[in-house]
Amino acid sequence: MIAAASLFEQARPPVPPAPFLPMSLAEMDRLGWEACDVVLVTGDAYIDHPSFGMAIVGRLLEAHGFKVGIIAQPDWSGPEAFTVLGRPRLFFGITAGNMDSMVNRYTSDKKLRHDDAYTPGGEGGKRPDRAAIVYAQRAREAFKDVPIVLGGIEASLRRIAHYDYWSDKVRRSILMDAKADILLFGNAERALVEVAHRAGAGQTIRSMTDIRGTAQVVNAPPKAFRVADWTDMDGASPDLAGGKVAVRLPSYEQVAADPALYAHTSRVLHLESNASNARALVQAHGDKDVWLNPPPVPLTSAELDAVYELPFARAPHPSYGDSRIPAWEMIRFSVSIMRGCFGGCAFCSITEHEGRVIQSRSEGSVLREIERVRDLTKGFTGTISDIGGPTANMYRLACKDDGIQAMCRRLSCVYPDICKNLGTDHGPLIALYRKARAIKGVKRVLVASGLRYDLAVRSPDYVRELVAHHVGGYLKIAPEHTEAGPLSKMMKPGIAAYERFKELFDQAAQAAGKKYYLIPYFIAAHPGTSDRDMMNLALWLKRNGFKADQVQTFLPSPMSLATAMYHSGRNPLKPVRHSGSEEVEAIKGLRQRRLHKAFLRYHDPENWPILRDALKAMGRADLIGPGAHQLVPGGTAAPAAKAGPSRPFRTQHTRSRPLQRR
């Protein structure tokens, strides 16, 4: 791994730290501050806990001696709310929050959501659409000369020209619309600290074009770089050998006009995502260039420990009183043990944001945090609700050879098969589980994070430990589909891996004398999925006694490979050409998306009419009828309208039974 200066090399933490980062001038007065060095603006309520990005950013800057204030969920109708803490000395830090504001605000069918888990009372409508852009514009109106630093997942996933599902078009890099001075992408602790210290020393932020994990609008690429042009996807690949090489991507104007070129650009971006070998990227927007430095160097375990052990209050800001904040209620008794994901699922944005290298905390740091949860978190009754991360069981898993890892450009370490160079030893995680549940005052330690079952089957001891001690009745896992076609576009393992895991899970549950169930999650309408694929999935669900009541329909999030498939109809998992490259069916029509969702809920009478019509059109009327092998009952009448609104409930498992294969 590339060496980097210690994250805390220039730290000079205040003694004592602020009880909470200030949200008002009165709080600043109590701290003896005349002005903030940095004002952070976020679309979330301010919760001082390491699960919330602004808390990490704020406490990290505080540890480096900077005075940091927070403006949470401001009124964006004018600039006044952005002046409540006065003019920041160095910069505004802008983020939409822990979630992309459009994903937060709209369903996959583009329907408005009426709640927001990151807002007191769960109230919806407290952040604008495209919040990062709106907040940046209002901050600029409030203080025209104060630099704008963009960060967070919304900005990170929009750092180059990107397909926007909600407007159904390719939009410019968010830098162009927000008119920000710099964008920090990924987990940006290193870049943030460097920007703050260099700004504090008097350097202008727009001149900081050499910081890893940052993007900026420039007139031309830095002169130290040789630019290799990869705007022609039909010709030979450019010469990428040598030292300082930057790859020129097709311009915004080109990818907006040519969906196939968009898919090619997406592929190149993902190939340049390994921090050990990624090159700088440059993309023209009119007469300007968007310049992207290589991704940030992952944090070491010692650095990650120090970040998570900053002096968080581990509570919402007192200004919220007794208001319930759903996101806080969900995570307040949970502990994150790692970052990153090497799964590379095509529909997921974790890899694009957090990277493929797993960054794990030390055992001691995790155990100390569990003790802090026990001692400091109001309402703790002895249960740690989750110990995990983006994936439950990638803790301390890594490439066996640093040299191989430094050269690797695979999009996934586990697809199409688990790489022979990937270490899959779950021993350290088992040891951590055992020590966690041995802590005084801790009664249970649950695992609620997504489990990578194709890795888990490599360690039957892990499955036994998990089932015996860390499952609370149901374990949710995500095979996403049963059919080879869509699974190949998702970069997910075949259903046989799920079947093997279920065998181990059931054996472990029986040995432990427990009645536990697996709850599989599936995606409807993913690119590459045919109506017949969904029919086969529905038949599998029925054979195995599953009735899914909460299902997910594919949502094309910015920058994901699956979104490139959806927009372009091409497969960016392979080289893309205007002719001869693999085409992918994209499910865009509302009726077909509803049909795919209906197959997942084959048992709902509301869906029977559309399913009957589809089965007849597919020549499978034999699946209509009362038989156990048939999917929906016969008849022609639609069910009566419901008397009132339905209430979602958990996925049903109709009865325990051995898995039924085809």
- Asked whether 90 and 199 are in contact (CB, 8 A), the reply is yes
Number of helices and strands in the chain (H, E): 23, 25
The yes-or-no verdict on residue 590 having pLDDT over 50 is yes
- Asked whether 47 and 322 are in contact (CB, 8 A), the reply is no
CA-CA-CA-CA dihedral for 483, 489, 490, 496, to nearest 10: 30
- Same domain membership, residue 416 and residue 372: yes
The yes-or-no verdict on residue 328 having pLDDT over 80 is yes
- Same domain membership, residue 279 and residue 194: no
Establish if 580 belongs to a structural domain: yes
Lowest mean pLDDT segment, chosen from 46-60, 236-250, 605-619: 236-250
Distance in angstroms between the alpha carbons of the first and the last residue of the chain? 45
- Same domain membership, residue 250 and residue 118: no
What is the number of domains present in the chain? 3
d(C-alpha 452, C-alpha 463), whole Å: 11
DSSP 62: H
Query: What mean pLDDT is predicted for residues 643-652?
Result: 40
Q: At 391, phi and psi to the nearest 5? A: -135, 140
What is the number of alpha carbons within 13 Å of residue 534 lying toward its C-beta? 26
pLDDT value for 34: 97
DSSP 196: H
CATH number for the domain spanning 401: value is 3.80.30.20
Lowest mean pLDDT segment, chosen from 59-63, 319-323, 631-635, 654-658: 654-658
Give percent of the chain with pLDDT exceeding 90.
91
Q: Please provide the DSSP assignment of 66-110 as one string.
A: --EEEEES--TTSSGGGGTT---SSEEEE---SS-HHHHHB-TT-
- Same domain membership, residue 265 and residue 369: no
- Same domain membership, residue 224 and residue 207: no
- Residue spans of alpha helices (H) in 458-559: 460-469, 484-490, 495-512, 531-543
Lowest mean pLDDT segment, chosen from 161-175, 526-540, 565-579, 638-652: 638-652
| Confidence tier at 644 by pLDDT (50, 70, 90) | very low
CATH number for the domain spanning 125: value is 3.40.50.2300
What is the number of alpha carbons within 13 Å of residue 225 lying toward its C-beta? 21
- Same domain membership, residue 289 and residue 252: yes
Among candidate residues 213, 228, 252, the one where a domain is terminated: 213
Among candidate residues 293, 318, 344, the one where a domain is terminated: 293
Establish if 416 belongs to a structural domain: yes
pLDDT value for 349: 85
SS3 assignment, position 407: helix
DSSP 439: S
- Same domain membership, residue 276 and residue 225: yes
Establish if 306 belongs to a structural domain: no
- Same domain membership, residue 400 and residue 433: yes
Establish if 313 belongs to a structural domain: no
The yes-or-no verdict on residue 655 having pLDDT over 70 is no
Give pLDDT tens digits for 432-469: 999 999 999 999 999 998 899 999 999 999 999 999 99
d(C-alpha 496, C-alpha 661), whole Å: 9
Give pLDDT tens digits for 163-194: 999 999 999 999 999 999 999 999 999 999 99
- Same domain membership, residue 542 and residue 431: yes
The yes-or-no verdict on residue 258 having pLDDT over 70 is yes
d(C-alpha 89, C-alpha 196), whole Å: 11
Token readout for 532 is: 């017949």
Angle at alpha carbon of residue 395, lines to 193 and 468, rounded to 5°: 140
Establish if 493 belongs to a structural domain: yes
- Same domain membership, residue 66 and residue 205: yes
Among candidate residues 213, 241, 263, the one where a domain is terminated: 213
- Same domain membership, residue 187 and residue 245: no
- Same domain membership, residue 156 and residue 16: yes
Q: Which of the pair, 485 or 646, is modelled with greater confidence?
A: 485
d(C-alpha 165, C-alpha 42), whole Å: 23
Give pLDDT tens digits for 214-230: 999 999 999 999 999 99
- Which residues make Cβ contacts (< 8 Å) with residue 576, sequence separation at least 6? 233, 260, 263, 264, 267, 568, 570
| Confidence tier at 203 by pLDDT (50, 70, 90) | very high
d(C-alpha 173, C-alpha 49), whole Å: 30
d(C-alpha 503, C-alpha 509), whole Å: 10
Give pLDDT tens digits for 106-151: 999 999 999 999 999 999 999 999 999 999 999 999 999 999 999 9
Establish if 314 belongs to a structural domain: no
The yes-or-no verdict on residue 298 having pLDDT over 60 is yes
For residue 11, the enclosing domain spans 1-213
Give the residue among 231, 237, 232, 226 at the shortest CA–CA distance from 279.
Answer: 226
The pTM (predicted TM-score) of the whole model is 0.94
Query: What mean pLDDT is predicted for residues 355-361?
Result: 95
pLDDT value for 165: 98
The yes-or-no verdict on residue 156 having pLDDT over 70 is yes
d(C-alpha 59, C-alpha 192), whole Å: 12
Query: What mean pLDDT is predicted for residues 240-249?
Result: 92
d(C-alpha 22, C-alpha 15), whole Å: 16
